[in-house]
Chains A and B, each alone.
Chain A
Amino acid sequence: DVKVTQSSRYLVKRTGEKVFLECVQDMDHENMFWYRQDPGLGLRLIYFSYDVKMKEKGDIPEGYSVSREKKERFSLILESASTNQTSMYLCASSLRGAANTIYFGEGSWLTVV
């Protein structure tokens, strides 16, 4: 079974802190994604990586950056957390190619106070 693991399920951070959300997949997938999920807004793509060190902005990249130094790991970074970044963050991965299923992690609930 494909496993996408998000290291932190629940985090509480203070405004202005630097926050790292880590995601690891074990199926040698080329693609990795970070989505943000908010009630009434569905899932919105923050960043997409199609290979090591390669990244592409999604629909809402402002306030976020990413790092992909190894194929299996994709990190989302909030350089200076703000209260409007309180949300559920979902990591996902897939093989390259539109026909392939995208697999999701369990999500990380981030609260910024």
Chain B
Amino acid sequence: AQTVTQSQPEMSVQEAETVTLSCTYDTSENNYYLFWYKQPPSRQMILVIRQEAYKQQNATENRFSVNFQKAAKSFSLKISDSQLGDTAMYFCAFMASNTDKLIFGTGTRLQVFP
């Protein structure tokens, strides 16, 4: 069975600084996808970034980038130039390529301070 672990329940960062959220996972699958989702307070969850396991290059979306270490089963999210609007719950998630279902970590609550 696959598991996703987020070891940081809460993080905080000052506006304009950089923060890294950690995620590790466990799987025996070779083909899979990894995701970071953002859930702002009282708003719906949205996809931040996605990584295909077969791609060696780390995914990047504007200020958001990942550090994907397949051998270590690690998938961290780096947020550069943090903004107040980045305040949210962040979930790391895993999906095997032979299924359509996401497996989530327990989440990291990120607070961005002015």
Contacts and interface: CB of A to CB of B under 8 A. Distances in A.
Interface string B41-81: 00111110010100000000000000000000000000000
Given A33-B101, A50-B100, A99-B33, A106 B106 contact: no
A21 interface: no
B77 to A, nearest CB: 15
A42 B104 contact: yes
A42 B44 contact: no
Contacts of B95: 98
Contacts, number: 53
B76 to A, nearest CB: 17
Given A98-B33, A104-B45, A106-B43, A40 B98 contact: no
A94 interface: yes
A58 B101 CA distance: 9
Given A101-B47, A104-B44, A104-B45, A42 B102 contact: no
Given A98-B33, A104-B45, A106-B44, A42 B99 contact: no
B97 interface: yes
Nearest to B9: A40
10 contacts: A4-B44, A40-B106, A41-B106, A43-B104, A44-B104, A45-B101, A98-B98, A98-B99, A101-B50, A104-B46
Interface of B: 4, 6, 9, 32-33, 37, 43-47, 50, 52, 91, 95-107
The 5 A-B residue pairs with the shortest CB-CB distance, nearest first, are A42-B106, A104-B45, A43-B104, A42-B104, A106-B44
